[in-house]
Amino acid sequence: MGFSTRFAPSPTGYLHLGHAFSALMAFDAARAAAGRFLLRIEDTDQTRCRPEFDTAMLEDLAWLDIAWEVPVRRQREHMGEYAAALRMLVERGLVYRCFRTRKEIMAEIPHAPHAPADVVASAPLMPALEAERLAAGDAFAWRLWLDRCRETLGPDWDNLWFEADGAMLKAEPARLGDAIIARKEFPASYHLASVWDDALQGVTHVIRGEDLREAAHLHVLLQKLLGLPHPVYQHHALVLDQHGKRLAKRDQAATLRALREAGNTPGDIRALLRL
Ligand code: GLU
């Protein structure tokens, strides 16, 4: 299979140097391998994603001389597919409903894939209790039920190998606990939608920041459960600000817009990133 990689930003703010680094790393890798470079807009979070950021991201990437295949996949247009993937897991009893306050769920659902690992001491409710909460219309999150996954996979559970950062690794999904992969009225977390789309789009190499290194273990398990291939993972160092902290969308000075307005060229951006 040919080389195919992607850049998958969420339109929740303007792209900054950290995004530029990810996008350029992936784009350069695709070019070096005479492979494909895809752009995917991960816009499932309707409360945080804004169309103007989507438009701005395309402008900024084009300014950086990055070219991608069209059409661009926008996750919000494919919610039905993620719902179907979730249904497969629900039907096989591999997920359970976790009832906690809406606020807790919203805070935890991995729209922010970079949030600290979602390790919680969590367990399914007794059926009677669950029925009560459902009848009351309470909100819930779908958590991957690792004990069930282990039972279902049998010996494969201990034999989930994948390639990351030049080494063969054994997936240890328990590192992330019973991760949230969807919620009541929302069929996909970042994890589920991203894994689904990487396979659907034929992505062979996932190139992204090292803050998602742990998440790869969960992604490999989801791929196994859904019968999807494992891409090769490459994690790069994060771009830090002058205080040694990772860049956030609120760091306006590091946005590509601000850098461009300050007179920088795309070549300057590459030089800043040592690319
Ligand atoms: N939308 C995710 C982000 O904003 C993509 C992460 C990935 O490349 O898998 O970082």
The pLDDT of residue 78 is above 70: yes
The atom of ligand 1 lying closest to the CA of 215 is: 9
Q: What is the pLDDT of residue 121?
A: 57
**CA 10, 15, 20, 21 torsion-angle sign:** negative
Torsion angle defined by CA atoms of residues 22, 25, 28 and 34, in that order, rounded to the nearest 10 degrees: -90
- pLDDT band at residue 106 using 50, 70 and 90 as cut-offs: low
| Rounded Cα gap, residues 242 and 45, in angstroms | 30
Q: What is the pLDDT of residue 105?
A: 57
- pLDDT band at residue 247 using 50, 70 and 90 as cut-offs: confident
3-state helix, strand, coil in the chain (%, to 5): 45, 15, 40
Per-residue pLDDT tens for 162-216?
999 999 999 999 988 899 999 888 888 999 999 999 999 999 999 999 999 999 9
Q: What is the pLDDT of residue 262?
A: 95
- Alpha carbon separation from 16 to 76, 166, 268 (Å, rounded): 23, 27, 14
Q: What is the pLDDT of residue 100?
A: 77
Kindly report the protein residue whose alpha carbon is nearest to atom 10 of ligand 1: 9
pTM for the whole structure: 0.91
| Rounded Cα gap, residues 65 and 105, in angstroms | 39
| Rounded Cα gap, residues 149 and 92, in angstroms | 9
Å from CA of 2 to ligand 1 middle: 22
Q: What is the pLDDT of residue 118?
A: 47
Contact 56, 257 (CB under 8 A): yes
The finding on whether 11 has its CB within 6 A of some atom of ligand 1 is no
Q: What is the pLDDT of residue 117?
A: 44
Q: What is the pLDDT of residue 176?
A: 87
- pLDDT band at residue 102 using 50, 70 and 90 as cut-offs: low
The finding on whether 43 has its CB within 6 A of some atom of ligand 1 is no
Cβ burial, residue 101 (10 Å; 0-12/13-18/19+) = exposed
| Rounded Cα gap, residues 255 and 261, in angstroms | 10
Kindly report the protein residue whose alpha carbon is nearest to atom 6 of ligand 1: 8
Q: What is the pLDDT of residue 248?
A: 76
The pLDDT of residue 246 is above 50: yes
Cβ burial, residue 1 (10 Å; 0-12/13-18/19+) = exposed
| Rounded Cα gap, residues 83 and 185, in angstroms | 10
> What residues does 40 pair with on adjacent strands?
73
Mean residue pLDDT of the chain comes to 92
Backbone φ and ψ of 78, nearest 5°: -130, 25
- pLDDT band at residue 58 using 50, 70 and 90 as cut-offs: very high
The finding on whether 234 has its CB within 6 A of some atom of ligand 1 is no
Contact 2, 36 (CB under 8 A): yes
Q: What percent of the chain has pLDDT over 70?
A: 92
> What residues does 205 pair with on adjacent strands?
5, 232
